[in-house]
Amino acid sequence: MKKIVPAINSVFLDIRLLFYILISPLAVVLAYILANVLPGELSQPGSPLMQSLAIVGTILLIITFYGVLSKRFGRPSRFGTVIHIISGSLATILVTLHSAGNIFSTPGSLIFLLFMVIFLGGWLRVVMPENFSMTFGTKLRGFAPLDEGKKQKLKEIISSKEILLSEVEPSAQEGLFSLTFRHWIRSPLLAYNYRKLEKIEEEIVGQRASVEPAQAYCRQLHQALSWLLLIGVAVHVITVTFFANYVADGRSIYWWHIKDWG
Binders of ligand HEM in range 222-261 (CB under 6 A):
233, 236-237, 240-241, 247, 255
**Of residues 111-130, those binding ligand HEM (CB under 6 A):** 111
| Residue 256 φ/ψ, nearest 5 degrees | -65, 130
SS3 14: helix
Which SS3 state, helix, strand or coil, does residue 243 take? strand
Asked if residue 60 binds ligand HEM (CB under 6 A), the reply is: no
User: Under rule CB under 6 A, which residues in 29-48 are in contact with ligand HEM?
Assistant: 45-46
Q: How far apart are CA 37 and CA 25, in angstroms?
A: 18
Question: In the complex with ligand HEM, which residue's Cβ is closer, 74 or 108?
Answer: 108
Contact 226, 117 (CB under 8 A): yes
Cβ proximity to ligand HEM: between 161 and 257 the closer is 257
CA separation for the pair 142, 164 (Å, rounded): 24
- Of residues 146 and 237, the one with the C-beta less far from ligand HEM: 237
Segment 80 to 109, residues that bind ligand HEM, using CB under 6 A: 95, 98-99, 102-103, 105, 107-108
Give the DSSP letter of residue 210.
Answer: G
CA–CA separation, 121 and 36 (whole Å) = 31
Residues that bind ligand HEM (CB under 6 A): 45-46, 51, 54-55, 57-58, 61, 95, 98-99, 102-103, 105, 107-108, 110-111, 233, 236-237, 240-241, 247, 255
